[in-house]
Amino acid sequence: MYRYPKTLIGLVSDEQRVKLLTIKISSVEQFRIAANNGCAEAIKQTLNIDDAKLTQLKNKSDLFMLDGVKGKTCKLLNEIGIETLNQLANQDAQVLALCMKSANSRLKIMKINHKLAMVTKMILQARELMAKTEGI
């Protein structure tokens, strides 16, 4: 049986607040749609969000598929790949994860610290790691 992440998690922020958005993934098809569209379609389908709100959400958030639940150490599934992750990181948005490419080319998500004071530092570190990884 094909394994897919059961939880899709992202950071949504505005000037005042930062909050985690968690969506349950219920099928392989929903996972594939999400992986191919930076998770936007999965959010749209799951939450029934209209296009205007979806665009606003995409501009303010980076979404990651995690095999696990928020607050725990999670691994990014290989099927998503570095390209999708880079697309997310290159948006004018914030990255909630320290991403690195290991020797065997698998992506790993390091333990996420949800304290809001750490978010800015994590964003900068994540962008730095990704730049080094891709030789940018």
pLDDT tens column, 14-26: 444 444 445 566 6
Question: Within its chain, how far is the Cα of 98 from the centroid?
Answer: 11
* Angle at CA of residue 20, ends 89 and 29, nearest 5°: 70
**Helical (H) or strand (E) element with 67:** none
Per-residue pLDDT at 65 = 35
Report yes or no: 64 and 108 within 8 Å, Cβ to Cβ: no
pTM confidence score: 0.26
Q: Report residue 11's pLDDT band, with 50, 70 and 90 as the boundaries.
A: very low
Predicted confidence (pLDDT) at residue 30 exceeds the cutoff of 60: yes
At residue 17, the pLDDT reads 43
Alpha-carbon separation of residue 88 from 53, 63, 73, 111, 127 (angstroms): 18, 7, 20, 19, 11
Instruction: Look at 68-77, 78-87, 114-123 and tell me which has the smallest mean pLDDT.
Output: 68-77
Question: What share of the chain in percent tops pLDDT 70?
Answer: 0
Give the residue-averaged pLDDT of 35-50. Answer: 50
